[in-house]
Structures are given as C-alpha cells and as structure tokens.
Structure 1
Amino acid sequence: MEYVYAALILNESGEEINEDNVTAVLEAAGVDVTESRVKALIAALEDVDIDEAVEEAAVPATTGGAAAPAADEGDADDGDDEEADEEEAADEDDEDEEASGEGLGDLFG
C-alpha cells in the first residue's frame, strides 16, 4: 500500500511518477524498497489519470456506504442483477432490524 501512497504523494506535489521518485519517497519514509514492486507500480500507472481515478473512487458522505455502480443503459441483463441486488439488500435490512430489536422487550417489561 505504501507504494501507492508514494505515487499519490508524487501526483499531489506535481512531481513525475517514475522509478527514481517513487523509490526516493519510499526510502525517505523508511520503507525497504523492492525494485520489482516499484517497476510494477510504474507500469500499472502508465495510462492512468490518478486525479480522475481518485475522484471516481471517492464516496460522498451522504450515501452512508459504498456507492452503487452506475447502470449502463445498453445492458439488457441489468434487470436480473438489479432484482437480485434489491432482494439481497432487503434481506440485509430485515436482519439488521431484527438484530437491533433484540433485548428491547427486556428493557420495557
């Protein structure tokens, strides 16, 4: 994870994300750097817009959890997946309600 953090630090500071810079950040943090992991990170980030990726990964605080993926209008199979997801969410809500009500009878008589 610290390798990704190093890339994020470099991106935020406007520095080029390359092997030397990532290695320097990691060494400054006291990390035992593995050259192959640095190379793999650089290769993985080659065509990635980090700012865009971070923005997409951000979850608004008002959702209270993980953001639901946007439905693609071109997918004909989405109906089945959405129904299964809704049923699963309903089951989880029922379980949460049951668990939160445990012991209330003891409190009130």
Structure 2
Amino acid sequence: MTLIKNLQDHVGSRPDKFFKNTLFHSDTLLLGLNCLEPGQVQQPHDHSDQDKFYYVVEGEGHFWLGDNQMVVGKGNVVWAPAGVIHGVRNEGAARLTLLVGIAPAP
C-alpha cells in the first residue's frame, strides 16, 4: 500500500456530478478528494454517527453547516460534527478541490 500520495495526481472531473476519489481507506478513516466544477453541488446531508472535515485545497466553496451558510476559501478547514447537516456548492468560475476526511460507518 502506498502511504504517500500527491493530491494533484488524483484531481478529476465529471460532467454529470462532482468527482470523488478515495486516497486512503481503513477501518478507522476514509480520506478522499472531492472536485466540484463551477455550478456543481454536494447536496446537504448528514452522517448520524460520523464526524467529517473538508480542507479547501483550491477554489472557494459555499458551505451549508447546520442552519448556517458560509463562503470558505483555500487553506481553511470546515468541520461537520456527526448529525449536523452539511454540503457544499461551487458558485465560482474555477474548480473547487476539497480534501475530505470521515470515519467510516461503524
């Protein structure tokens, strides 16, 4: 198993929905890359028993976090505690790339 990966080697796009690529997956953590082209959305949802984070690698995302909506740019981390509704929309002119971590479902 490769223990080091370059994020740029795993960036991609899909015309029909946002692109997802799993970088690492174990019994205790899933780490992946989500790429949203302009106009693409990860619809608001929740994970009842899993915390999740998004690290903005590039671009700017319009995040839902509970009842709040916020614009978050490159270099910031968004934390979505278990049970909190969260999602993200790319309203920008460039790709939004997110490093995402979540504990796999028990």
Fold shared by both chains (TM-score > 0.5): no
- Bigger RCO of structures 1 and 2 (CA < 8 A, at least 6 apart): 2
- Calculate the TM-score normalised by the size of structure 2: 0.21
Which structure's residues are more often helix, by fraction? 1
Which structure's residues are more often strand, by fraction? 2
- Calculate the TM-score normalised by the size of structure 1: 0.20
